[in-house]
């Protein structure tokens, strides 16, 4: 076996605490190895007592590097000599400090990191999705996910290669996405569902879904929705009419969006409140980076915060194209007077889905419906709306002014550049 120093390998003939600087550097920058019992020319000397030295190395890292990085130790026999290989994984809790200083590698040397290198580490780390980070636990099972893939997608085999292909595993380690989609996991924060009576003091039922597959949480959430908000029939005149309490699609999208897009680094539950006149879904985590509030509220496309989890839900036909959930919720209420609302408050996004009130006129007039359908796709000028309506200037202006007065649409700007959008 040939040993050679590089920016990923450091050789140590004997133990000295200077190796801790390199542990800091590897944890900050890249996976690396420190090999004890080999000098910097690659000559093998071996170690006298490998068990004792491994304990000494482990204790030194645990006592001296803050926070403690992920590392492993093993003894390698080379002919009659023993060497110790210390493997250090790059971490996500940067910077890792030794004696209150962050270190980096400069070719085969270890030096104190400068401000530019530290800022680069943070930029690199910010581009790693939380659901793609690796975890240490190795005993996860995926019976629920396997069953869903085999029944819905008609695949005949769900195995190790499937987990790797889906991004639930990388090499021999699971990702956070794998952890969250496993049958059982150690994540204590999931979905908290409460069915209220007349007020918050009257709790009819409470279900806290934690430490289980996100897919199972989704299935249970949908089952509870069906239990309390199933369709019903109503006699109107001489006819029996089927009614929906609220569009199932709206709740499905709200539930799926909260699971797919929530910030899993925030230790809080998704909260779902079932009321007699509305459902409220509150998801931890604000907007993803680069997403403007106005764009989100207008149903603009966004990059999912947890792309691997989103891809699983997409493959299972639970969600459609990434980032279209808001539009689908809005569209599901298109024929009703009641409309969903979306509120962004700090680190939470709240969706309120009203129960349909059939005592009020529910359908738009034909012309209102044309304006509504046009503005669902984005802001429009009066001329564009007039072309869709097929009406003259005066009729178009009168209709739009009335809709603005009723608070159904909003006028933006003045003069020829005036546009309209839904409220």
Express each pLDDT in 211-239 by its tens digit. Answer: 999 999 999 999 999 999 998 887 766 56
Q: Which segments of the chain have a pLDDT < 70?
A: 1, 116, 120, 123-128, 236-239, 241, 287-304, 321-324, 346, 360-366
Task: For the chain, give the longest Cα–Cα distance.
Answer: 98
The per-residue pLDDT for 377 is 76
Beta-carbon count within 10 A of 47 CB: 21
What phi, psi does 402 have (nearest 5°)? Answer: -70, -40
366-422 shares the fold of 9-128:
no
Tell me which architecture the domain covering 366-422 has in CATH: Orthogonal Bundle (1.10)
DSSP string, 148-200: HHHHHS--S---HHHHHHHTSEETTEEBHHHHHHSSB-S----EEEEEE-SST
The per-residue pLDDT for 132 is 84
Q: Is 298 helix (H, G, I), strand (E, B) or coil?
A: coil
The helix, strand and coil proportions of the chain, stated in percent and rounded to the nearest 5, come to 35, 25, 40
Pick from 259, 256, 320, 250: which is nearest to 279 by CA? 250
The per-residue pLDDT for 296 is 66
The per-residue pLDDT for 277 is 92
> Which tokens go with 240?
């029996």
CATH number of the domain at 9-128, out of 3.30.70.980, 3.30.950.30, 3.40.50.300, 3.40.710.10?
3.30.950.30
Peptide bond into 169 cis (omega under 30): no
What phi, psi does 276 have (nearest 5°)? Answer: -70, -25
The per-residue pLDDT for 365 is 65
Distance CA 7, CA 107 (A): 5
Global pTM exceeds 0.85: no
> Which tokens go with 288?
């993803």
Q: Is 6 helix (H, G, I), strand (E, B) or coil?
A: coil
Distance CA 174, CA 44 (A): 35
Return the domain boundaries, the chain.
9-128, 366-422
**Which contacts of 291-294 are long-range, i.e. CB under 8 A and separated by 24 or more positions?**
293/344
Name beta bridge partners: 77: 82
């Amino acid at each position: 076996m040939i040993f050679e120093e590089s920016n990923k390998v450091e050789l140590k003939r004997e133990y000295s605490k200077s190796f801790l600087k390199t542990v800091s550097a590897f944890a900050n920058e890249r996976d690396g190895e420190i090999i004890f019992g080999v000098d910097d020319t690659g000559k093998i000397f071996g170690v006298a007592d490998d068990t004792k030295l491994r304990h000494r190395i482990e204790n030194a890292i645990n006592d001296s590097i803050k926070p403690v990085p992920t590392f492993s130790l093993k003894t390698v026999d080379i002919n009659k000599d023993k060497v110790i290989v210390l493997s250090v994984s790059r971490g996500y809790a940067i910077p890792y400090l030794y004696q209150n200083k962050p270190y980096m590698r400069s070719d085969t040397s270890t030096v104190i990191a400068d401000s530019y290198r530290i800022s680069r580490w943070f930029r690199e780390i910010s581009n790693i999705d939380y659901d793609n980070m690796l975890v240490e636990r190795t005993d996860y099972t995926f019976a629920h996910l396997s069953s869903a893939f085999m029944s819905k997608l008609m695949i005949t085999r769900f195995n190790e290669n499937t987990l790797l292909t889906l991004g639930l595993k990388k090499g021999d380690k699971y990702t956070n996405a794998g952890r969250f989609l496993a049958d059982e996991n150690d994540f204590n924060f999931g979905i908290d569902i409460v069915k209220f009576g007349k007020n918050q003091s009257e709790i009819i039922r409470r279900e806290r879904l934690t430490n289980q597959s996100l897919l199972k949480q989704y299935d249970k959430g949908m089952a509870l929705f069906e239990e309390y908000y199933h369709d019903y029939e109503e006699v109107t005149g001489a006819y029996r009419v089927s009614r929906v309490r609220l569009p199932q699609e709206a709740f499905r999208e709200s539930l799926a969006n909260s699971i797919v897009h929530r910030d899993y680094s925030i230790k809080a539950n998704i909260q779902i409140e079932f009321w007699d006149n509305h459902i409220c879904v509150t998801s931890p985590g604000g907007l993803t980076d680069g997403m403007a509030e106005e764009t989100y509220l207008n149903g603009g496309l966004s990059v999912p915060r947890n792309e691997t989890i989103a891809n699983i839900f997409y493959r299972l036909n639970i969600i459609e194209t990434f980032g279209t959930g808001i539009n689908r919720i809005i569209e599901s209420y298109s024929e009703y007077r009641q409309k969903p609302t979306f509120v962004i408050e700090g680190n939470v996004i709240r969706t309120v889905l009203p129960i349909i009130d059939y005592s009020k006129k529910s359908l738009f007039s034909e012309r209102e419906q044309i304006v509504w359908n046009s503005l669902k796709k984005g802001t429009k000028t009066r001329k564009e709306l007039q072309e869709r309506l097929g009406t003259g200037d005066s009729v178009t202006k009168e209709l739009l002014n009335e809709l603005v007065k009723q608070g159904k649409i909003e006028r933006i700007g003045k003069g020829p550049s005036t546009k309209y959008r839904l409220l």
